[in-house]
Chain A
Amino acid sequence: MKAVLFISFALLKKRKKQTMVTLLGVAISVSAFVVMSSIMFGFQKYFIQQVIDIEAHITIRPKEELAEDRLIRKFDNRSLIKVYGNRPKEKDRILGWKEIIRRLEQNPHILAVAPHLESKGVLKYGAKEKPVSIIGIEPSLEVRASVIERFLENKNLKALDTNRDSVIIGKVVARDLGLQEIYRKVVLSLPNGEIKMVKVVDFLNSGITNIDATRVYMPLKTLQALLGKVEEVNVLIVKIKDVNQAEAVAKALKKEIRYEVESWQRAYVNFLKLFKVQNLITYIIVLVIITVSAFGIFNIIMMTVMEKRKEIAILMAMGFTSKDITLIFLFTGLVTSILGGILGFLIAFGLLEYLSAIELDIEGLLRSKGFILDRSYTYYLLGFFLTLFFSLLASFYPAYRASKLDPVEIFKSL
């Protein structure tokens, strides 16, 4: 092995240009993998974390009734005209919700349950109007079942308890209405025609545009009174011990409760599917980069093997075995990959530092002041081992070819 290392290091040292090109190829692959993973997963993990924190781990709501079931009249296909009309929903509330909460809180997987009354509405401030989703909450129960307070700019959740006519509105709602500070009054219109002047006591800034652009929280009792639904709730939110078990716990609850039980994974299934596609695309791109770099390694080692035929022949004449010859070229590939990997780490680290320092107003699915990065070391390791695997794979064929050269044929041809 000593002799193999002796020759390999000499090849690496003296063929600096080729070594550097290969090394850079590997470094670019590793850094591309780390940076792209960091950006992608940073965004996705942040989104999921915010969703888990602000939304329920499990939601319990009345079952959706199919529109077909609620048709007042149906005509057969021979009729000239069809008249459709929806009966009012009969089951848009959770009956016996207090008892359900009491029962659920005895479940060992469940940490807390909070009631919601959800409705649509329109918020008006000055001349500006904004359609919103209103959620009536019981602040003392809400803090146990979600971490909404973390996202409140002024941590003023208790104000909903002390002031019955107060609301917390999403940051984007406030921005769209032109509301820059709290304690301003806005007009809330509800679908039943009720109009109420309410005071904004805090802003909700979750970072998720979809939530911040629609969400309004107000005291449960106030909303119940405004909608004429005294003591009624239509959603229960459940916080569980292990968020990853939400789907399993939801399935178990479905058997106990006659309402619709939905885990956060199911509620955000479209996003999660989108993320999967996004990850697939990212990894295809990264894989292409790694493959190109692996081809670079393949080309350079293959060229070295072709150029060094007579040196390989003389090494064989000296007593080097075919295995030694294979190892010499595999080792050059391995060393280049390791050095390239280390260089890739440095490039990736530098790039991530740079990206994290950039100030950008990003507004899409998420709102942020810059790139949301996941700086986990696992991407470094994964990128390194993936590139190492491809590089060794790329080195293997030329190394194998070198070991199969016939020294006599080479000597006779020269």
Chain B
Amino acid sequence: MLLRLENIEKWVGKEYILKKVSLKIERGDFVAIVGPSGSGKSSLLYIMGLLDKPTSGNIYYHNKVIDFSNKDWICKFRNETIGFVFQFHYLIPELNVLENVMAPQIKRGFSIKEAEDRSILLLERLGLKGKERRQIFEISGGEMQRVAIARALANDPEILLCDEPTGNLDSKNTHMVMEIFREINQRGTTIIMVTHDLNLAKGTKRIIEMLDGEIKTSFYLERVD
């Protein structure tokens, strides 16, 4: 088992965001977390990505409980194991396309040359060949999101956490991104995607429905191709 959440609660003041959430994610899962706004989808995603600390409960990665007090270890783990894709690309405008993808790899300890070679291959895989040296403002919205995906995949993460990754894209780019996710997932990367779009959720393997900070339903989809 890749990830297990055990009685996760998140409170902000006297208001709860997540209530006793328990969840298991298997390696190779492609999960869509759906639910209305304020249902706690993104909060759950941030906790799974170790960006946020639960008020109570435990998180297990590879059956090992996460110790939130060891901040340096958390950062290292996030760098090596988790990739994030957000609704907005959040690319660093001071870096070009290639450099944005190189950044997490350099943080991991790859040499500049290694990071550059790996990034070029990754960008090629995501259909961005020839655009490596472009500045961020020189590429389209769909391309920006693909660069953000490339950055998230730069360190070959075991799990990709996506928060409304297509929320800012047109249907053509949405379709393209979903195709990329499916391909990545087929290669073995676990994907957890927060979305409010049920049609997108139907393209995944499993749907978790949330309401008022609790998991309402969780089921696997059977693909009929």
Contacts and interface: CB of A to CB of B under 8 A. Distances in A.
A318 interface: yes
Nearest to A14: B94
A313 B93 contact: no
B94 A318 contact: no
A133 interface: no
Nearest to A412: B42
A354 interface: no
Interface residues of A, number: 27
B51 A7 contact: no
A405 to B, nearest CB: 12
Interface in B93-107: 93-95, 99, 102-104, 106-107
A311 B71 contact: no
Nearest to A6: B106
Given A3-B103, A408-B52, A412-B42, A314 B92 contact: yes
Contact of A10 (B42, B84, B95): B95
- Of B75, B78, B99, B112, the most chain A CB neighbours within 10 A belong to B75
Contacts of A322: 71
A334 interface: no
Interface residues of B, number: 32
A319 interface: yes
B95 A313 contact: no
Contacts of A317: 49, 51, 78, 84
Contacts of A411: 42, 46, 51, 86, 163
Interface in B41-70: 42, 46, 49, 51-52
A14 B86 CA distance: 24
B133 interface: no
Given A2-B106, A6-B103, A313-B90, A321 B71 contact: yes
B71 A3 contact: no
B80 interface: yes
B108 interface: yes
B42 A318 contact: no
| The 7 A-B residue pairs with the shortest CB-CB distance in the complex, in nearest-first order | A319-B79, A14-B94, A3-B107, A314-B90, A318-B104, A10-B94, A321-B75
23 contacts: A2-B109, A3-B103, A3-B107, A6-B103, A6-B106, A10-B92, A10-B94, A13-B94, A15-B94, A313-B90, A314-B90, A317-B49, A317-B51, A318-B79, A318-B84, A318-B103, A319-B76, A319-B79, A319-B108, A321-B75, A324-B107, A408-B52, A411-B51
Interface of A: 2-3, 6-7, 10-11, 13-15, 310-311, 313-322, 324, 407-408, 411-412, 414
